[in-house]
Amino acid sequence: MIDWSAFVVVALVALFSAAALVSLYSLGLRLLTVEDRTPVRTAAGYACFVVCALGVLYGIYLIIPGFHR
């Protein structure tokens, strides 16, 4: 039997996470491709990429059960 409430929670978390990672990546690209690039914008762009990479690594950690037994 399917636990529909758990299914909806997983679907919403997956949707939100995907949207957040795509938004962070696009914001990082935007900050690095503007004409008037300052050191603060460059650092913020790279910070967006780092947070995005950490989110992807955390997702991989959650998917592979051998990492968190």
Condensed to tens digits (0 to 9), the pLDDT of residues 29-64 reads: 999 999 999 999 999 999 999 999 999 999 999 999
Q: What is the structure's pLDDT at 32?
A: 96
Asked whether the beta carbons of 34 and 41 are under 8 A apart, the reply is yes
Q: Report the half-sphere exposure of 43 (CA within 13 A, side-chain side).
A: 3
Asked whether the beta carbons of 41 and 31 are under 8 A apart, the reply is yes
Q: What is the structure's pLDDT at 69?
A: 76
- The total domain count for the chain is 1
> Range of 39's domain?
4-67
pTM of the model: 0.83
Three-point CA angle 5, 6, 10, nearest 5°: 120
* Residue 6 pLDDT grade (very low, low, confident, very high; cuts 50, 70, 90): very high
Asked whether the beta carbons of 25 and 49 are under 8 A apart, the reply is yes
Both tokens of 43, joined, read 């650092």
